[in-house]
Structure 1
Amino acid sequence: MNKEKILSIRDLSISFMTTAGEANAIRGVKLDLYKGETLAIVGESGSGKSVTVKAIMGILSGNGSVKEGTIDFTYERNGETVHQDLLKLTKKEMRRRINGKRIAMVFQDPMTSLNPTMTIGKQIMEGMRCHYKTPKKEAYEKAVSLLSLVGITEPEKRMKCYPHQLSGGMRQRVVIAIALSCDPEVLICDEPTTALDVTIQAKILELIKEIQDRTGISVIYITHDLGVVAKVADYVAVMYAGKIVEKGLAEEVFYDPRHPYTWGLLSAMPDLNTSDEALYTIPGSPYNLMGKGKGDAFADRNAFALNIDYRMEPPMFQVTDTHYAATWLLHENAPEVGMPDALKNRISRMRKEA
């Protein structure tokens, strides 16, 4: 079955000018998002996850510049299929044609996403009124139904509330309602549950999954929480130092990881059944994005690093039709190195639980 590609990122490179020099934040990222599917981008802080999606939205900060690459977005307009390179649009064109209307984003902290001086109702109606010139009565009715859809009780009453009158979980639901108000094709969730407690987190994740099943929307999740990924993702991309180091179907990356960095991330997940006294941590410090050093960015932190890792950057090696990893350990001449036994045991437990 041929899947319909909605977003295609190719060779994306982004750098930022800082007082210390040029930081190469994104280095040749290549990613695809398919219609109705969920892509999760995972990695530690500073790996380039948020910068990648900010480039999709056209909201990079002033000191950031796209060095090369394309972001091809495919959508329907007046019955015709349009292919648009988002990097060729101006910020004004992005705001008018894409942001909120076709690609919407849910940010980490709902309080900073909402206007404290406007009622919830007005904020949900604003996008519909602006993009589609929806009549006020129709926009009001849709806003009420959206509040109901995201699980807010007494939606008509909440329409008159201000953000400070709602709890954190309710505010995040409102942000999701605003994101969905113009029926976008793509929803980007940048760590949407970070500021919420664990029980609310689970409810928000379930809510987004339900909405996706109902509307067929494509979702990109940005997270460093692999537990979240296991619940929601169809496809996973693991980022380190501005590059994709492993990508594949969620079950491939979870149950058959091939990159030592992915091994580290999975080993560092809290586990109730482990006999280890201390939580595993990946040794060393994150890669310096100012550096233009040779070799693999992960080499200094990699217990399984080969001599070639310090001299040449690894290409993407194919594991299956859908699974790829950028590690020299997959080269035909590399020594046989398997994942650590502790992680093997953990993965077999994860399989049983699943």
Structure 2
Amino acid sequence: MENNAKETVLSIRDLSITFKTGAGPVNAIRGVNIDLPRGTTLAVVGESGSGKSVTFKAAMGILASNSVVNSGSIVYNYRHNDGTPATVDILKMKTRDIRRHINGKRIAMIFQDPMTSLDPTMPIGKQIMEGMVWHYKTPKQQAWDKAVRLLTEVGIEEPEKRMRQYPHQLSGGMRQRVVIAIALACDPDVLICDEPTTALDVTIQAKILELIKRIQAERGISVIYITHDLGVVAKVADFVNVMYAGRIVEAGTIDEIFYDPRHPYTWGLLSAMPDLDTEDDRLYTIPGSPPNLLHPVPGDAFAPRNAYALNIDERLDPPLFRISETHYAASWLLDERAPKVEMPPELKARIERMKKEGI
């Protein structure tokens, strides 16, 4: 799943994470491999509970206390202030070192609900300045000036006035812009956006996506979107990883995933996207529900919901089959011995429409 044209800034290998619960251990992440090429946008998509957020909370060193990392590495390649290259495995770092050298400073995260990210008792300005003062010992006045510039950069008018206001005095869209300003305050080179527009209405959503895109182009940062919304993915991503039951089941460029999907789960996700031109009067939904990861999953986790499942799916988990240099899918349908199965005709027609419209 590597893209060799660019340096890989973040490389996750064989990541396996279990959560201890009262009902027993939950095998939430089951051998995840993800690469983020520098300067690109990667979207990680899948239903709730597929493991998207957990994977990147591990990269931020902010996993819940009942989590156990069973195996794997999260290798981060960056440059020191003097330009010399450095490489660390975040999973081997002490929590305090992650806080001081990685969190907010080099890898920043924008969470789903700005109200849970912002401190209701602290003025906006102070919250933006906090990271600069903590990580870089930036003098107060300098931090204030930079915070005002950041508020302007994220499209907030009257920034000086806003600096003194509290989160409850701002609208949802403005609060999300403030969260983005906080994330950018220490000039990170990786920005993780966890469902950054879910709580916002559609017009504000589009503005926030445009804002992140513009900032990425200006600063040359790498961006990861964690989302279940393929409409968002179509607007922002260079690469897509499709996640199901704690594993990556398909990975490729945006065009490969949207125009040439190979995994039945990806077919289901694309078929479930709202489409004005579809013949059906009802929106498609993938039948069944994801497996309970409290129990071991025999074979392919998607098999019980897969209309194209083969006998082998019940016994063996498929490996990632290589389709092209950048495109992989974990489906036994790609084995040369498997019967030839085409994607559903309705999806094929939809993809043809998408190609014509240039989506």
What is the TM-score when the length of structure 1 is the normalising length? 0.99
Question: Which residue of 2 is the match for residue 48 of structure 1?
Answer: 51
> For each residue in 1:165-189, what CA deviation from the matched residue of structure 2 results, as whole angstroms up to 9, or x when unmatched?
0000000000000000000010000
Bigger Cα displacement from structure 2, 76-85 vs 56-65: 76-85
Q: One-letter code of the match for 1:269?
A: M
Q: Which amino acid aligns with 1:31?
A: I
Query: 2:344 matched to 1:344?
Result: no
Alignment match of 1:224 (pick from 220, 223, 228): 228
- In structure 2, what is the equivalent of residue 197 of structure 1? 201
SS state of the match for residue 27, structure 1?
strand
Answering whether residue 123 of structure 2 is matched by residue 144 of structure 1, we say no
Alignment of 1:37 with 2:37, yes or no, is no
Partner of 1:114: 118
* Residue of structure 2 equivalent to 1:238: 242
Aligned to 1:87: 91
CA distance in 1, matches of 2:207, 2:73: 35
C-alpha distance in 2 between matches for 1:266 and 1:332: 25
Which residue in the other structure is 1:327 paired with? Answer: 331
Write the deviation string for residues 247-301 of structure 1: whole angstroms up to 9, x where unpaired.
0001100000000000000000111111201111111121111121321000000
Residue of structure 1 equivalent to 2:18? 15
The residue type equivalent to 2:355 in the other structure is R
Other-structure match for 1:299? 303
Deviation at 1:205, TM superposition (A): 0.3
Counterpart pick for 1:27 among 30, 50, 53 = 30
Q: Distance in 2 between matches of 1:293 and 1:161?
A: 50
Q: Provide structure 2 residue ranges, at least 5 long, that are not aligned to the other structure.
A: none
> 2:177 is matched with which residue?
173
Q: Which amino acid aligns with 1:276?
A: D
In the TM superposition, what are the counterparts of 1:263-302 in structure 2 within 5 Å?
A: 263-302=267-306
For residues 259 and 91 of structure 2, the distance between their equivalents in structure 1, rounded to whole angstroms, comes to: 36
Runs of 4+ in 1 over 4 A off after TM superposition: none
What is the distance in 2 between the residues matched to 1:177 and 1:327?
A: 41
User: Deviations along 1:136-159, whole A, 9 cap, x unmatched?
Assistant: 111111101100000001111111
Aligned-partner Cα distance in 2 for 1:228–1:29: 23
Q: Structure 1: which amino acid aligns with 2:100?
A: R
Q: TM-score, normalised by structure 2?
A: 0.97
Residues 71-119 of structure 1 deviation map (CA, whole Å, 9 limit, x = unaligned): 0001111332111000011221111111000000000000110011111
1:211-261 CA-partner distances (Å, limit 9, x unpaired): 000000000000000000000000000000000000000110000000000
- Superposition RMSD in Å: 0.8
Equivalent pairs counted in the alignment come to 354
**Alignment match of 2:67 (pick from 59, 64, 70):** 64
Give the Cα separation in 2 of the matches to 1:319 and 1:2.
18
Aligned to 1:105: 109
SS at match of 1:116: coil
Q: Deviations over 1:29-51 (max 9, x none)?
A: 00101111000000000000000
Secondary structure at the aligned position of 2:125 is classed as helix
The aligned amino acid for 2:274 is P
Structure 1 residue 262 corresponds to structure 2 residue 266: yes
